[in-house]
Amino acid sequence: MITIAHLGPPGTFSEEAATVYGGPDAQYLSLISMPAVVTAIETGVATAGVLPIENVLEGSVTTTLDLLIHETNLQICGETVIAIRFYLVGREGLSLPEIKVLYAHPQSLGQCRRFVERCLPGVETVASLSNSAAPAEALADGRAAAAISSFRAAELTGAQFLAHNIQDRSSNVTRFIALGRKDCPPTGDDKTSFCFGFHEDRAGTLVDALDELAREGINMTKLESRPSKEVLGQYIFWVDINGHRDEDHVALALERIRAKTSLFKVCGSYPRYAKLNDLVNS
């Protein structure tokens, strides 16, 4: 039986994504942080792990990108996308005008900014480590406290639902990646993620490298820059493309990019999530 690690505790969206990816026959391991998920896979405690990498409202999850760029050689072996629905919760009998403090994970708070600004103006906000921790912390606070929570986290803690679907957009979704020791063989509908950087800072280096994708007719679906963590103003570029690293035209483009860069790393080829439109429209 495989063991899939994820950011815990139970009730997080990461747990939901892990169960969607792993199915009913897998075992699941809740861990305290995203770096802990990586370490669990590297040391054999877990077979695979699931990490958030991109939200439609808040953009990339930089912790995940930095782990993949700087700290691990694990490979992306899959992806899944889940709908993100947030709820305002608190203790029984609490009403909206009474709320003095709001607990929320920073990402969740950013995704519910419109509701908070309009319905909870001036309320003190407190950062929580996870969407599961937020309702528990609100219930433990002696003040009139509420929390931004997932549905399952609210049920697990016994919090009362005060408002539902408070995210800024109904199309709010998050993409999660699965990590393992190896990526996946070609399926005919795949993505590849890689990163690269340059020692020399001169005009045209980035365009020159990415032009290799256009030469082979490869569609780039994501381009992100992250600090190199070595020199101020020096960046590592993260790229997602359609296609598998073992396909001839993709392999050729990647080798040409490798030759033009000082740092180059393929982070995995994996089946593309194909149900996004159905999920967004549900």
Closest CA relative to residue 176, chosen from 265, 56, 266: 56
Which of 12, 174, 192, 261 is catalytic? The answer is 174
Which among 13, 176, 194, 237 is annotated as catalytic? 176
**Cα 89 vs. chain centroid, distance in angstroms?**
24
Sequence-distant (6+) residues with CB within 8 A of 146 are 88, 89, 90, 94, 99, 101, 102, 103, 120, 138, 162
DSSP 85: -
**Known catalytic membership, residue 176:** yes
Which residues neighbour 224 within 8 Å (Cβ) at sequence distance 6 or greater? 60, 65, 237, 238, 239
d(CA 96, CA 88): 9
Structure tokens at 101: 């403090």
Residue 86 annotated in active site: no
| Mutual angle of helices 248-260 and 205-215, in 10-degree steps | 170
Does the CA dihedral 13-31-27-74 come out positive or negative? Answer: positive
Using the CB atoms, write b or e for 62-97: b if 16+ within 10 Å.
eebbbbbbeeeebbbbbbbbbebebbbbbbeebeee
Are 12 and 130 a contacting pair, CB within 8 Å? yes
Interatomic CA distance for residues 56 and 226, integer angstroms: 19
Q: What are phi and psi of 136, to 5 degrees?
A: -65, -40
Residues 6+ apart with CB under 8 A from 204: none
Residues catalogued as catalytic: 174, 176
